[in-house]
Amino acid sequence: MTDAHAQIKDTVTSNDVVLFMKGTSSMPQCGFSSKVAGVLNYMGVDYKDINVLADDGIRQGIKDYSDWPTIPQLYVKGEFVGGCDIITEMTLSGELDTLLEENGVAFDKDAANKIREHNS
C-alpha cells in the first residue's frame, strides 16, 4: 500500500464524511467541488475537506483508491458515494438524506427540503 493510499484510507475511515475536492470547503477552486461543498455546507453536514490540489499524491491516489476518474469525491462512513452528478441527483431525490440518516450523520432536513423545493 502506498503512503497516499494509506493516508486516504485512514482519512475516510476516521471521519464520518469526507469530501476530496479542488480547494477547500470555504474556498472551492472548481465548479463541481463548489457545488458539492455548497450542498453539504447548506445542509449543515460536518465533513472533512481534503484539498487535492495541495498534494499530487493524494490527487492521483484518490482516483486510484476509488477507481473513479474525477474529483470531487464524497465518502460517508468510509464508503465512496460519488462525484458531483451523483451527489446532485441524490440530493434532489432525497437519497442523500436517507444515506446520512442511515449512517447517523446529522444534517438540516429543512435545508435539504429547501434545496429540493428550489430545484423542482
84 in a known ligand binding site: no
Query: How many whole angstroms separate alpha carbon 80 and alpha carbon 108?
Result: 22
Q: How far apart are CA 8 and CA 38, in angstroms?
A: 23
At residue 2, the pLDDT reads: 79
Residue 120's pLDDT is: 82
Q: 3-118 sits in which CATH class?
A: alpha beta
Q: Give the model's confidence band at 1: pLDDT under 50 very low, under 70 low, under 90 confident, else very high.
A: low
- What CA–CA distance (Å, rounded) separates 3 from 7? 6
Residues 69-119 have pLDDT tens digits of: 999 999 999 999 999 999 999 999 999 999 999 999 999 999 999 999 998
CA distance 37 to 23: 10
Question: Prior bond to 72 cis, omega within 30?
Answer: yes
Count of Cβ atoms closer than 10 Å to residue 17 Cβ: 21
Q: Are 45 and 105 in contact (CB under 8 A)?
A: yes
> Structure pTM?
0.96
